[in-house]
Structure 1
Amino acid sequence: MILGLRADFHLMAETQPILYSFRRCPFAMRARLILKKCNVTVRLREIELKDKPKELLQASPKATVPVLVLPDQILEQSMDIILWAVSVSDPHNILVSWNADKAASAQFLKSLDDDFKHHLDRYKYAARFEPKDKNFHRDLAMLWIEDIEVKLSEMPYLSGKTIGIFDYMCLPFIRQFRIADPDWFDSQNLPNIHKSLSQFLESDLFKQVMQKMPIWKKTGIETEF
């Protein structure tokens, strides 16, 4: 729902959460998935990475998305936004698998956000780093992917019997890994990951969070998300 709120409309920004997001960023996607799953409404400000609004830079000097601006605090990490959303509304008990072993859960998140993402960036965006090392980083990222494949052979979802927090955390990144070379990825012997990713990409939830939004800096339009 496009509300047509201009950039100088401050009252709602003071009372309702503002989410700075970039549609294709897997970290921002992860946050949007959980916000939508938890039925938590925010004012979404879609940005362009090459032309970030000054309001984002003022709120968060690190200038990466997602950033959630609340009346009393600013959340700059996707997991912090997820935990906040769940504290507001959690109709699906989304964190049940996370809370079962918080230490192991934190380690899983670290392996994804630090290790896998490191190699993913150097594979997908090899021209920015060392092009000759592209396949080297692809193969190291595949070790993580193959570990996920094993886990999915033992249970329907990474979160257990139903899709949950672990699936929503990593599927946006697996999607990005596939995009780097779809034909190669689709040819790999990863039946469970192919199935899981396909279901995710075809889901109503994914389609909802991936709708194109007007660029806030250009239009002044926020989206009720």
Structure 2
Amino acid sequence: MPATSALPVLYSFRRCPYAIRARMALAVSGQRCELREVVLRDKPAALLAVSPQATVPVLVLPGQVLEHSLDIMRWALAAHDPHGWLIPDRGELDAMLELIAQCDGPFKRALDRCKYPNRYPDASPADERAAAHAWLRVLEQRLALEPGGHLFGPRAALADMAIAPFVRQFAGIDDAQWQAAPWPHLRAWLVRWQQSPLFLGVMHKYEAWKPGAPPVVFPPPTA
């Protein structure tokens, strides 16, 4: 293992869906870094110095700073992609990126307005919920056609791992409504992902990072 001081630095927040998918890609690829858990209401000066927007995750590399989770995923997988996340059994990388863009754009917009209605007083909760449900039905239809139960074939690929954290966040808004909705394939897909050793392994709780704290190597040697 390289010396900790030589490792890239990952600023992360445990529950953030963007940070979750970045950590999963780093873990599966075995790209070790120094993890610094961030308290969003008290962002450290070291994070602000490398990324003024200070939205997690941020990966600090020698001579480069990656400020978008999908860029971090693709950087890690370009180095080592043991499960072929970038090469789905069905479809192409561009098709996965298009579906991820729909998640990160229109779906995330509706998700935020459903989860945090007080932040968006001008939004219609019913309209935003309908928009979110319409896109989730797209995922349900894709999964229903795939006997392996993944978005682009019988095994998980980049799209599954990049989208699942946001579906998880939506499911947590109203569990009763989620369980009653007409998307059994989507529910089963989410349960499998949430029960996977990879997801469970990246959800360990860490203390908030402070300057001078002992470094935390991620993923840990046993991951």
For normalisation by structure 2, the TM-score amounts to: 0.90
Partner of 2:87: 96
- Of structures 1 and 2, the one scoring higher in RCO (CA 8 A, sep 6+) is 1
Aligned residues: 215
Measured after TM superposition, the shift of residue 72 of structure 1 is: 1.8
Describe the superposition over 1:85-117 as per-residue Cα deviations: whole angstroms up to 9, x where unpaired: 012222212200299534433321221111100
2:153 is matched with which residue: 146, 149, 160?
160
Describe the superposition over 1:137-159 as per-residue Cα deviations: whole angstroms up to 9, x where unpaired: 11111111000000000112013
1:214 aligns with 2:174: no
User: Are the aligned partners of 1:44 and 1:223 in contact in 2 as well (CA < 8 Å)?
Assistant: yes
1:109 aligns with 2:100: yes
Partner of 1:6: none
2:65 is matched with which residue: 74, 88, 109?
74
Provide closer, same or farther for how the CA distance between residues 200 and 106 of structure 1 changes in structure 2, counting only shifts above 3 A.
closer
User: Are the aligned partners of 2:8 and 2:34 in contact in 1 as well (CA < 8 Å)?
Assistant: yes
Provide closer, same or farther for how the CA distance between residues 199 and 106 of structure 1 changes in structure 2, counting only shifts above 3 A.
closer
**Unaligned segments of structure 1, at least 5 residues:** 1-11
Whichever residue aligns with residue 87 of structure 1, its letter is A
User: Are the aligned partners of 2:58 and 2:67 in contact in 1 as well (CA < 8 Å)?
Assistant: yes
Q: Structure 1 vs Structure 2: percent identity of aligned residues?
A: 38
1:184 aligns with 2:172: no
Measured in 2, the distance between the counterparts of 1:153 and 1:93 equals: 22
Measured after TM superposition, the shift of residue 131 of structure 1 is: 7.6
Whichever residue aligns with residue 217 of structure 2, its letter is E
Measured in 1, the distance between the counterparts of 2:129 and 2:57 equals: 26
Measured after TM superposition, the shift of residue 222 of structure 1 is: 3.2
Measured after TM superposition, the shift of residue 206 of structure 1 is: 1.0
Measured after TM superposition, the shift of residue 83 of structure 1 is: 1.2
More displaced stretch, 86-95 vs 68-77: 86-95
3-state secondary structure, aligned to 1:94: coil
**Unaligned segments of structure 2, at least 5 residues:** 219-223
1:171 aligns with 2:186: no
3-state secondary structure, aligned to 2:41: coil
Whichever residue aligns with residue 178 of structure 2, its letter is F
Provide closer, same or farther for how the CA distance between residues 35 and 142 of structure 1 changes in structure 2, counting only shifts above 3 A.
same
Measured after TM superposition, the shift of residue 120 of structure 1 is: 0.3
3-state secondary structure, aligned to 1:61: coil
More displaced stretch, 100-109 vs 117-126: 100-109
Partner of 2:131: 140
Measured in 1, the distance between the counterparts of 2:160 and 2:197 equals: 15
Measured in 2, the distance between the counterparts of 1:217 and 1:48 equals: 10
User: Are the aligned partners of 2:50 and 2:65 in contact in 1 as well (CA < 8 Å)?
Assistant: yes
Measured in 2, the distance between the counterparts of 1:43 and 1:72 equals: 16
Measured after TM superposition, the shift of residue 221 of structure 1 is: 3.9
Describe the superposition over 1:125-177 as per-residue Cα deviations: whole angstroms up to 9, x where unpaired: 11111287223211111111000000000112013111111110111000000
Whichever residue aligns with residue 56 of structure 2, its letter is V
- Whose helix proportion is higher, 1 or 2? 1
Partner of 1:128: 119
Measured in 1, the distance between the counterparts of 2:179 and 2:122 equals: 22
Whichever residue aligns with residue 128 of structure 1, its letter is R
Partner of 1:197: 190
More displaced stretch, 76-85 vs 103-112: 103-112
1:24 aligns with 2:15: yes
More displaced stretch, 94-103 vs 115-124: 94-103
